Amino acid sequence: MAESINDLLSGYTQFRNTYFENSQCTLFESLRTQGQRPKAIIIACSDSRVDPALILNTAPGDLFVVRNVANLVPPCELDHSHHGTSAALEFAVCSLEVPHIIIMGHSSCGGINALVQGQANPSPEGFIGQWMTLAEPALRKMEAEATQNALTLEEKVECCALHALVDSMENLYTFPWIATRIAAGTLSIHSWFFNLQDGRLYAYNPSTQNFAPL
Ligand SMILES: [Zn+2]
């Protein structure tokens, strides 16, 4: 147990040496005095293997990041609940005026895998099952395809994850301040899928309705 926290603290020491003890590195000085101007907001999975800053080789200040279970975007719901992902989107789009929204899914997603296997609701009093209902339309689309083609479990999980990405993309349009900016051409949205097997990103092309390597 102590070993894992010590690993993290040694990483912290390296971070301090790079960004704060090195007088040539003034990145945080300019980020502190001039504020952040991130290039995009990215909604990624909480999965420890899928770090958007690592995959896109970004520096502090480049990305406004939201990570949640299965990188899902809920529809715009004005019901006074606690909508963390929607709040982050609102801040990035309306206050920071980011020019891009990226949703990044991935292969072998634990949340999607649990949904496909009917295990997404481990505790009736818990939060995961209710959260994963957002991906139920994607599950039904996958099941329709799985009856036509004999899909392996791995293929079902990937198929469901890809449908969930497209559904999340469509949910973005339900936020009026996103839809108006897309219509005005000041905001674009992207749906990417990271394959853990080959390390490649696949992007959704709305005109072909397919994902192709970037
Ligand atoms: Zn995941």
**Over the stretch 156-187, which tens digit does the pLDDT of each residue have?**
999 999 999 999 999 999 999 999 999 999 99
Q: How far apart are CA 43 and CA 162, in angstroms?
A: 14
pLDDT of residue 50: 98
Confidence of residue 2 (pLDDT cuts 50, 70, 90): confident
User: Separation of 152 CA from ligand 1 center, angstroms?
Assistant: 19
User: Separation of 25 CA from ligand 1 center, angstroms?
Assistant: 34
User: Separation of 107 CA from ligand 1 center, angstroms?
Assistant: 8
Confidence of residue 7 (pLDDT cuts 50, 70, 90): very high
Residue 64 neighbours by CB under 8 Å, 6+ apart: 36, 38, 40, 41, 42, 88, 91, 92, 96, 98
Q: At what angle do helices 136-148 and 153-172 cross, to 10 degrees?
A: 140
> What domains sit in the chain, N to C, each tagged with a CATH number?
1-35 (no CATH), 36-213 (3.40.1050.10)
User: Separation of 104 CA from ligand 1 center, angstroms?
Assistant: 9
User: Separation of 33 CA from ligand 1 center, angstroms?
Assistant: 35
Q: Decide: 135 and 70 in contact? Cβ < 8 Å.
A: yes
For residues 21-29, give the mean pLDDT: 94
User: Separation of 139 CA from ligand 1 center, angstroms?
Assistant: 15
User: Separation of 150 CA from ligand 1 center, angstroms?
Assistant: 24
pLDDT of residue 125: 84
pLDDT of residue 79: 94
User: Separation of 175 CA from ligand 1 center, angstroms?
Assistant: 24
Of the candidates 63, 74, 201, the one whose C-alpha atom is nearest the C-alpha of residue 130 is 74
pLDDT at 1 over 80: no
pLDDT of residue 124: 79
Q: How far apart are CA 113 and CA 35, in angstroms?
A: 39
User: Separation of 203 CA from ligand 1 center, angstroms?
Assistant: 17
Dump pLDDT digits (tens) for 93-145: 999 999 999 999 999 999 999 999 999 887 878 999 999 999 999 999 999 99
Dump pLDDT digits (tens) for 28-84: 999 999 999 999 999 999 999 999 999 999 999 999 999 999 999 999 999 999 999
Phi, psi of 86 (to 5 degrees): -65, -40
User: Separation of 22 CA from ligand 1 center, angstroms?
Assistant: 36
pLDDT at 27 over 90: yes
Of the candidates 197, 135, 198, 187, the one whose C-alpha atom is nearest the C-alpha of residue 166 is 135
pLDDT of residue 36: 97
